[in-house]
Structures are given as C-alpha cells and as structure tokens.
Chains A and B, each alone.
Chain A
Amino acid sequence: MNRVFRLRGLAGAGWLLALTIAAGGCSGKKKGGEGSGGANACDQPRKEVRLAISSLPNTLDWSASNESSAQNYPVILAMMRGLTRLDDAHQPVPDLAETWEVATDKDRHQVYTFHLRKDVVWSDGKSPLRAKDFVFGWRRAIQGNEPAEMADIVGGDAVIQARERKELAPADREAAVKKALDNFGVVAVDDHTLKVTLKSPRSYFLTRIAYVYTYFPAPSHELEPLEGKGDQAIRAYFNQPRDGRPLVLGGYRLETWDQVGQKVVLTKNPHGPLAAEARAVEKLELVQAELSPLLYDQCKVDFVFMDDPAALSGSMSGVSRKPLLSTYFLVFNASKVAPALRKAIAMALDRPALMKGLLPEVRPAVTFLPPELPGAIAADDPLAASFPKLDREAAKKAVAEAGYKGEPLTLMVRAKGTFLPEVGIAEAVKAQLATIGVNVTIQPSANLTNDIRAADGTTRVHMYMRRLGADYAHPQTFFTLFQARGNHYSEYDKLDGGKVLAELEKLLEEGAAETEPAKMRAAYARAQDLLQSKQTLIVPIFYPDRYFRTRPWLEGIGVDPFNFLTFRTMRVKQ
C-alpha cells in the first residue's frame, strides 16, 4: 500500500515538475531574449519571412471564391488589387482605375465608367491589364460561390435566379445562365474603359470594390483558352501554381501551395508595385500552426497573433494592438424576450466595468457602428441621444414593468474559434444583470451556428453574443446580418407581421442610395436607432482590437481594420 502511495506521489511530483518547466518554456523568454534559434536569428533582418496563421486558404480562385472566404483574404490581397483602394481614413482612392465618372441613366440605373491605368501589367511582365479582364472575372464571380456580392449589378439577379432553377436539366440551366449573362451590366468599352451599371445608386460601391476580392480582375487572356476544358481547369490554374501562374497584379505571386503540408509560399512579383522596392521581402511562407507563440519564441515564425487572454494579461512589451472596424454585441431573441425586458438589460450593462480585467485595453461601445467607420456617428452625436445608456434604476423599473418573474434567460456564446474572451464577458454580463434581478444561464457553444437553431428553424436561446466585423468600410456591411436573408437569429423579422424588417430594409435602401454624406449618415443612424432603441434588439458592448507580435525589423505587416493579416506593403526597416 505504501509503495502505491509512494509511486502516485512521485507521478504527481513528476507532472508538477514537468508542467512547471514546460510553462516556463512556453511563457518565459530564453536567455538572450529569444528562443532556441538564439537572439541573432530572431533579430537579424531577413528578406525571407515566415508567418503563422490559424487557417490557410481554401481557394485562391478569387473570382469563384468559397462560402467561407475569410481565410483567403490575406493571400489574395497580397496577390491582387482592385479598381480602388482604401486610404488611411478608410476612404476609396484610385488604384487600378485612374479616374471614374458616375452618372444616372434613363432607367435610373447608376453607371460607373472607370478609366484604367495604362502602365499596369500582369506578373508575366508583358500582358497589360485590360478592361475585359474585369468583365471575365466578374462574370465568373456571379457564377461562383459568392454571387450575392455581384447582385447590385444590373442583370445580376437574373443570373442568380437562372442558377437556382433546379427544375431544369444541367445543360438547360447552363444555357439559361449564359443567356442571362448577356444582360449582365459589366462592359469593356475599350481596352482601358470599363462600364458598370448598378440597379440603383449604391453609396458603398467604390469602397466595396477596393476590398471584396471577387471584384478583382482575372487574366482573361490566359483563362479564355481554358474555358473549353470546363471550370475545373480554371480552378486548377489558380489553385495549383506553376510556371509563374496564376498571373497577378499585387506585390506577391504564388510560388507553391502545399495542400498536404498546409503551407503557402509567396515571392515578390517582379512586375508588381513592390518591384522597385529594395527593402521589400523577397519570399514569405505562410504556415498553419498550432501553438504559434511557441514557434515565435523559437524564431521559427516572424508574426503571430496574440489571442490568448492569459498571454495578454502579462507584459505587453513587443505586442502591437490594432483597432478593428468591428463590434461585439448582445442580440435578443425578440420572440422570447419582452421589449421592456430588452430595454432594461440594455440600460443595466456598464460596458467598461464589464470588460475590466479581460483585455489590456477596451473601447466600450455605445453605437452599433464603430465611430471610425465612414458614415457612422459618434457616441455623443445628437442622433445617438436616444440610444440606451447605463441607468440601473430605470432598468429595475423596466424589469418590473415587463412582469419578469425571475425565470432564467439563456445566453449563448462562442466557446471556440474566437479571439475574444467571450465566456468571460458572458460571466460579467450575468453578474451585472443579477443586480437588476435578471437571472442568466450561460450556454457556451463550440458550434454556435448549429446549436442556436432548433430543428424547426427557431432560435433556441433568449440571447446570444457575437462579434461582427466590416467586410468593407461602409455602414451597409454591418446591417447585412439583419436583412431578409441575414443570419441574425433574433426572430425580429416576425415582429409586427414583418413591418419592422420592412422598415429596416427601407432605411438601408435609403442609406445605400444616398450620395450626400450627411443624409447617408442620418439614414444609417435611424437604422441603428431602430435596432438599438425603438426595438432594442441589440446591445453594443465594445469594439474589439486584435493583438499580435512581429519582428521589430519588419514594417508594413500587421492586421487591417477588417481583421485580416496584411503584408501587402511589408518591407525590412532601414
């Protein structure tokens, strides 16, 4: 018996010793400040860089894309460019297009005429960029996996409808799609003039084409001969690089994509915007890696996201912070939580106190749209005066008015696949709501998309929390979630027989069609007011930031406002 105890004790001691040393190995720095590669290997500027990311692309065919497209953006944005790009204030400025004109035709369609730069060549160094490269790419995009991105273009809806005609045989459906494409509103007027006709004015169009990669051009002179071999041959062109293909226009081209080892290698495009840049990084490898902070300490990678709250609670030396165009908020299930109770909860949450100790720095949210977003309003704007603010006494009264009897409200949060301490935030929400007598049961979920819906399509829980990030720098991107086909899980579309949804759609249409900035801002402020105040369907909590570490000798690498790793202008510091 004694021997058994002795052995168990030794086993425990062994574990303790190992974990103590291992923890030291994970969190602490080594002698000389860096990992096993030695201080020099880390600090020595190099033109070959290795980056660790959590997910590698699922396709690099930027026109056809994939339903889960977020993981493709870092690589595609380094390889390609759009007609416009965003400046530091997130406003669209010329990129591949030198200038453009906007007009309205007799059918009240909005017509953009883009004049392309004449000095841009594809990465083979000889093929010039032509307007038909956009036509080819955009026609493929409306037939790809993210056709909704192109739905604003005249004729886009008809193509999407033709694709959905399941009653037709595949060959007939293909013929119907081809016919619909004849009226698709993207035309190459000449080699350097592109005409795009939108169904109606869209104030977000110029900002959207800067970033949404399905709007990037495709090398039509290389792809047209492959069309006869089917779409699979074109996919192979993009996804199986060889002989300098696929041709690109950005700073980097695709060298190899090891789909087995999950590694992408990019090299500097000798004919791209970085060609003359002597300090540009020549080669970079993107690897999918777990435990990447350890690899960073070992000098095996030169960039790493810092998403572990425990790591962020220590020293922030060498850690960079990037504010995102993003909001973390609470969403009510309108079918299960009474309006007065929703209002009470919105007034009971003290945002700064809620986040205390969870993250190094917090930007508490009053408005749904981040104030840095063009077209958004600041918290102290008169248009935001009616948005619910902290008032516990009023909240207690509202709870009493709601006839709430103390039954627990379920709150679902993501417990996996998130870079935010969501369960910690939920615990704080629960504690604060307890002070106004509202009981909350937290339901952490590893697969929120699945778990939140019951078999009949209704939402299982009373409330849930999520992060919403901008896809492009415009208010419209935040409201997509609450539109008719949106994944809002709030059941607000059933309110008033659908009148609330219709009211929101009307306000969004007004904002999208408005070209005057002040009027556009007012329309989106009213849309926020509807969601935050009139119906109190959402409660903004904070605007998330992203943390990362990179080598001090690198610049131009980091996270963009859309939460994508960005390295399109990466270079070695002088």
Chain B
Amino acid sequence: MRRLVGRLARDLLVIPLTAFLVYQLAVRLPLVEDNDAKSRGVADLAEKLRARLGADEALGFLRPWQRLFGAAEADGRLPTIGENPAYDRARLGEALAGSLTVGGLALGFALCIALLFAGARVLLGGRRADGALELLPTIAYALPSFVVTVLVVRFVEDAANDAVAAAVVSIGPGVFLGAVLHDALRLEMERPYARVALAKGRSRLGVLVKHALQNALPSLLDAIPPVATAILAGSFVVEKQLLNREYFGAIYVDSALRGQAQIEVMVVATTTFAAILVLVSLAAELVRLLVDPRRRSAAAEEANS
C-alpha cells in the first residue's frame, strides 16, 4: 500500500509538470506561421502571438487554463481570452466523454479479446488450430488501427459509431494482451499445482479458470497501462482521421496540426490524457492488490507490522 501511495504522489506531480513543459516547449518554437501574406501588417504576427500566449508574462503558463475555465458572462456568452473566446466547457465535456467512451469500450473489448485468445490457445495447446492462432499476433501487429479503419469504413455500412471505433482500436492491443496472458497461463498450467489438479481429473477449462487465471492476471495488469496509451493514441487517429468523430482525440490532433494557434488545447489535452493514463495505471495497481495473492499477503503483513 505504501508503494502504491508513493507512486500515486509521484504521478500526480508529473501531471502539472507535463502541462508546464508542453506550454514552455510550444511557446519556444519559432512563433511564426507560414502564410501567404503579401505584406507585413501593423503588428508583427509573432509579437501578437507571443502576447496572446502570455509568453512574456510570469504566469503566462496559466493562460491555457484561463481559456478552459473562463466563466460565462451574464448573457451566456463566453469570455474572450486574448482575441479568442474561452472554450465551451459543456462542449469540451461532451468531447471528453465521447473519447472516454471509445477508450473505455476499446479497453473492455481488448480485455475480452485477450481472454478469448489466451484461453483458446491454452485449451487448444498443440493442436493445428493453435498453430493458426499463433499467426494472429503477427497479423495484428502488422495492421495498425488506421489501416483496419480504412477497411472497416469501406465495408461497414454505418462505421461512424462508438462501438465500431472501439472495436477497431482494440484489435491490436487486445491480441497483444492475449499474447502476454497466454505466456503467463501456459507457465501456470505447467506448475505442479495445475498438473496435480489435472491428474485428479479436473478439466483443463476448470483448472484454467479456477486456478491458473488468478495467478496469471498480474502479468496482464502489468501490460494494461502501456496498452491504454496505445488505445488512446489509436483512438485519436481513428476518431479524427477516418470516422470524423468530433471527440477529444479529434481536438487533440487538430491542435497539434495547427501548432501555436491552438496551444491552449495542446496543453489542456496533453495534461488531461496524462491524468487519464495515471488513473488507468492506478486502477491497475488497485486491481492487482485485490486479485494477486502475493500482493494481498504482502499488504496483510505490512498492515500487521
């Protein structure tokens, strides 16, 4: 538990640090946009951009957050930060909820794919069908989500819905988690306790579900945080580039493409995703604490001492 609290404190420190660094990096890029302007205006574009970003102000790094959290005026209109209006928080909330739905569904699908894939391979161990399944990770890794999406939008009538987006994103990570889980399960099935249970006449499925799976889960949990990152990155591409969903991923991709013109969104989106990944990592740790017998006993010893 102490380790968990320490990790949480460390990660929470990383979030504002990420926001600060992204802002500093962005304002230090050459502050000129490539444009076809025929002549120079009254104020230099770079100078105006620096002023808008608060680049020369001591608390300038708070500017993106002002734009996000600016309260609406009495008439319902949003306040203006620099020359741009603050973001509509309800609309941003909808976008974030959309992305989290896709991401959450994708993580769920990925776990289902992992369990089915690993379970099938253990149960089919040594047979010809298992040999065929062995090829699946190779194919899945060779097909990034954008390629799968192109195929899906070509053949699926209404591809632009959350479940399809989640399914597309989950294939690669799901098979990866499945491969990790399969290795762990195979080792567990070769341990003496599993062999004894099988010798006593228990079915392979029974041993797998009741004994081996619980001991193999920590390996799966270790792999979830990096996979969550891959799922989020995949969902950005799928949401924006191909399915044209106006979710947070789309906003993030847009802001990155538009560079300093959207620095506020870059900072806010990067920080939000950093926070989400920290939460996923924390959730994985908590689940590990609940399901891993070795952690449970270690936590009990820690509590007793």
The interface of chain A, by Cβ under 8 A from chain B, is 7, 10-12, 14-15, 18-19, 21-22, 24-26, 30, 36, 58-59, 66-68, 70, 145-148, 160, 163-164, 232-233, 235-236, 239-240, 242, 258-263, 287-291, 294-295, 298, 300, 414, 416-417, 446-450, 466-469, 471, 477, 480-481, 483, 485-487
Contacts and interface: CB of A to CB of B under 8 A. Distances in A.
A184 B73 CA distance: 33
Given A25-B151, A25-B154, A163-B42, A260 B34 contact: no
Interface string B77-89: 1111001110110
B147 A22 contact: yes
B254 interface: yes
B66 interface: no
Interface of A is mostly: mixed
Give 8 closest A-B pairs by Cβ, nearest first.
A261-B246, A14-B142, A25-B154, A232-B80, A11-B142, A22-B150, A447-B34, A480-B38
A148 B150 contact: no
11 contacts: A15-B143, A67-B35, A68-B35, A232-B80, A236-B78, A240-B85, A300-B160, A447-B32, A450-B32, A480-B39, A485-B39
Contact of B242 (A235, A288, A291): A291
A486 B154 CA distance: 48
B37 A487 contact: yes
Interface of B: 30, 32-42, 45, 48, 73, 76-80, 83-85, 87-88, 91-92, 95, 135, 138-139, 141-143, 147-148, 150-151, 153-160, 240-242, 244, 246, 250-251, 254, 261
A164 B42 contact: yes
Most buried by B among A21, A242, A260, A288: A260
B158 to A, nearest CB: 8
Nearest to B242: A291
Given A67-B37, A485-B39, A485-B40, 15 more contacts: A11-B141, A18-B142, A22-B150, A36-B154, A67-B45, A146-B41, A232-B80, A260-B91, A260-B92, A290-B240, A448-B34, A449-B33, A480-B38, A486-B38, A487-B40
Nearest to B88: A260
B78 A59 contact: no
Contacts of A19: 147
Contacts of A486: 38-40
A8 B154 CA distance: 27
A466 B38 CA distance: 11
A70 B242 CA distance: 26
Contacts of A240: 77-78, 85
B159 A261 contact: no
Contacts of B251: 260-262
Contact of B36 (A30, A289, A467): A467
Given A25-B150, A25-B151, A260-B87, A300 B244 contact: yes
A447 B76 CA distance: 39
B236 to A, nearest CB: 12
Given A18-B151, A298-B153, A450-B30, A147 B42 contact: yes
B91 A261 contact: yes
Contacts of A147: 41-42
A487 B38 contact: yes
A289 B139 CA distance: 30
Contact of B80 (A12, A236, A295, A450): A236
B67 to A, nearest CB: 11
